[in-house]
Structure 1
Amino acid sequence: MTVNLPQLRAFLAVVDTGGFGAAADELGMSQSAVSHAVASLERELAAPLLIRSSPARATALGERLVPYARTALSAVRSLEAVAAEAAGALAGTVRLAATPTVCRGLVPGLLRHWRAGQPNVTVRVFEGDSAEIAAWLEDGTADAAVLVDPPPGTGVPLVEDRYRALLPRDHPLAGEAAVDVRDLEDDPFLVSPGGCETRLRELHRLAGARVTPTHRVRDLATLISMVQAGLGVTVLTEASRPLVPPDLVLLPVTPPASRRLALSGPRDRPWLPAVRVLAESAAARQWATEP
C-alpha cells in the first residue's frame, strides 16, 4: 500500500471545505485533480473515505483517518519550515485560529504588523469558538491560535481585553462614565453560551450581582442586533467595539474586569519556525483591541 502526501492534502481539503470545488480552490489545482487524488487514496485503502454529498463529509473510516492525516501533513510542513529557516528563507503559510470577537478586534492589527515584518509568511485566519480552537490546535488544523484566558505560561501574552456594557444609546445609563454591573439587574440580560457565559457569571459574582439570562445567543452579530431592538443588554469586551453600531454604546463596567489574550502554538508539538517568529514579533509591541 502506497499513500502519498498529495492524496492526504486533497482528502483533508475536501473534509475542511465541504466540497471538491472548494478544495480545488484551496489547493490551487483543478477539481478533477482533487477528485483523482481522493479516489486514488480510496483505492489504496480499499474503502470509501468521503460521502459525495453537499456538503461532502467523511465516512466513518474517513473520520478515523483525519487526525492521522493531519499529523502526517503537520510533520511534513514542520520539516519544510525548519529547512527553510536553516536556509535563511522564512516563508510559508501559518493557519491562525481565533474567536469571532478576536478576529474583528485584534487580528487585523496583527495581520498588518506581520505583513510588514514578514512579507513572505502568509497568515490564514479561521474563526471558531474556544473549544473548536483548542481542538484545531491539538489536531493540527491550526498552527497557532489566539487563546482566551489560557493557563499561566501558555503562549505569548498579547493584551488584556476589558469587559464593557453594551447598551442602547437611549438607555438611562448610557451617559455614565462607567456602569456598575449591579445596575443591570433589572434589565433583560443577553449572553453567549459557553466560555463567555462562564466569565460573565464570574463577573457578576465578583460584583455581588444576580444574573438570569433572558436569552442565550451564540452568534455575536445576532446578540448585538437584539440589543439594538431593545430586547435587553449585555456585557462584551473591548474587542467587540468594531461591531458596535452608532445607536449603541460600549461602556466600562465596575468592578473592572478583563480577559487575557495570548498567541500560542500547539502544546504537545514543536511550533513552526514561522509561528515562533510571529509570536516574538507580536510580543515586542503593545496591542489594543481596537483596529
Structure 2
Amino acid sequence: MTVNIPQLRAFLAVVEAGGFSAAAAELGMSQSAVSHAVASLERELTAPLLVRAAPVRTTALGERILPHARTALSAARSVEEIAAEAAGTMTGTVRLACTPTVRQGLIPDLLHHWSEDQPQVTVRVFEGDSTEVAAWLGDGVADAAVLIDPPPGLGIHLAEDHYRAVLPRDHPLADEPLVDIGDLEDDQFLISPNNCEARIRTIHAQAGVPFTPAHRVRDLTTLVTMVQAGIGVTILSEVSRSLLPPDLVLLPLKPEMSRHLVLTGPREGPWHPAVRALAESAAAHLARSQL
C-alpha cells in the first residue's frame, strides 16, 4: 500500500471545500486531476472515503482517516518549513480564521502588507464567530487564527484593541475627548450579541451602570446603520474605526477596557511553515503604524 501527500491533500481539499470543483479551484488543479487523486487514494485503501453527493461528505472510513490526513499534511509542512528557513524564503497558502470585526477592520491592511512583504505566501481568510474560529484552528480547517484574549504565551501579539463609544456626529457628547459610560444612560443602547458582549457588560458593571440594551443586532452593518439613524449608541473596539462612516465618531471610553489580538497557529501540532513569518511581519507592521 502506498499513500502519498498529493492524494491526502486532494482528499482534504474536497472535504473542506464541499466538492471536487471547489477543491480544484482551491488547489489550482483541474477537477479531473483532483478526482483522480482521490480515486487513487480510495484504490490504495480498497474502500470509498467520500459520498459523492452535494455537498460531498465523508464515509465512516473517510471520517476516521480525516484527522490522520491532517496530521500527515502538518508534518509535511514542518519539513517544508525547515527547508524554507534554510533557503530564507516562505511559500504556500495559509488559511487564516478570524471574527467579522477583525476581518473587516484589521485584515485588509494586513493582506496588502503581506502581499508586499511575503509575496510568495497566499492568505485565504475564513470568517466566523469566536467559537468557530477556535474550532477551525483546533481541527485543522484553518492553519492560523487571530484569537481574542487567548491564554498567555500563545502566538504573537498583534495589537491591544481598546473599546470605544460610537455616537452620531451630532450627538451632544460627540466633541468630548472622553465619554463616561454613565453619561450615555439616557441613550438607547444597541448591542451585537457576539464575543464582545461580556466585556461591554463588565464596562457597565465597573461604572455601576445598568446594562439594559434596547436592541440586539446580529449584523455589524445593521448596528452601524441604526446608530447613524439616531436610534441609539453602541460600543465597538478600536479596530472597527475604519468601518465607520464619517457621520459617526469613535471616542475613548471610561471605564477603559481593551482586548488582545493574537495571531497564532494551532496550540498542538506543527504550524504551517509561513504562519510565524506572517505573524511576526504583521506585528512589526502594526507597531510601525502606531508610531
User: What TM bracket, shorter-length normalisation?
Assistant: 0.7 to 0.9
The answer for the alignment partner of 2:280 in structure 1 is 280
- AA aligned to 2:51 is L
1:224 and 1:96, CA in 2 relative to 1: closer, same or farther beyond 3 A? same
Deviation for aligned residue 1:242: 1.8
1:166-185 correspondence runs (5 A):
166-185=166-185
Cα deviations across residues 85-111 of structure 1 (Å, max 9, x unaligned)?
A: 224443222222222222222223333
Cα deviations across residues 45-99 of structure 1 (Å, max 9, x unaligned)?
A: 524523511x444456544543332222222122222223224443222222222
- Contact 1:227–1:234 at 8 Å: present in 2 too? yes
Deviation for aligned residue 1:40: 4.3
- Aligned partners of 1:51 and 1:209: how far apart in 2? 56
Cα deviations across residues 129-174 of structure 1 (Å, max 9, x unaligned)?
A: 2222222222222222222112222222221111112223333333
**Partner SS, residue 213 of structure 1:** coil
- Aligned partners of 2:167 and 2:58: how far apart in 1? 44
- Contact 1:146–1:264 at 8 Å: present in 2 too? yes
1:45 and 1:71, CA in 2 relative to 1: closer, same or farther beyond 3 A? farther
The alignment's TM-score, normalised by the length of structure 1, stands at: 0.85
1:155-194 correspondence runs (5 A):
155-194=155-194
The answer for the alignment partner of 1:46 in structure 2 is 47
- Contact 2:97–2:127 at 8 Å: present in 1 too? yes
- AA aligned to 1:160 is E
1:107 and 1:277, CA in 2 relative to 1: closer, same or farther beyond 3 A? same
- Contact 1:185–1:211 at 8 Å: present in 2 too? no
The answer for the alignment partner of 1:241 in structure 2 is 241
1:113 and 1:189, CA in 2 relative to 1: closer, same or farther beyond 3 A? same
Structure 2 portions without partners, runs of 5+: none
- Aligned partners of 1:179 and 1:64: how far apart in 2? 54
Report which stretch shifted further, 106-115 or 135-144: 106-115
Deviation for aligned residue 1:286: 4.5
1:1-291 correspondence runs (5 A):
2-42=2-42, 44=45, 46-47=47-48, 49-50=50-51, 52-53=53-54, 55-58=55-58, 62-287=62-287
The alignment's TM-score, normalised by the length of structure 2, stands at: 0.85
Cα deviations across residues 228-283 of structure 1 (Å, max 9, x unaligned)?
A: 34443221111111221233222221112211112222212233442223333334
1:232 and 1:27, CA in 2 relative to 1: closer, same or farther beyond 3 A? same
- Aligned partners of 1:285 and 1:84: how far apart in 2? 22
- Aligned partners of 1:67 and 1:273: how far apart in 2? 19
Deviation for aligned residue 1:5: 2.8
Report which stretch shifted further, 105-114 or 76-85: 105-114
Structure 1 portions without partners, runs of 5+: none
- Aligned partners of 2:180 and 2:246: how far apart in 1? 22
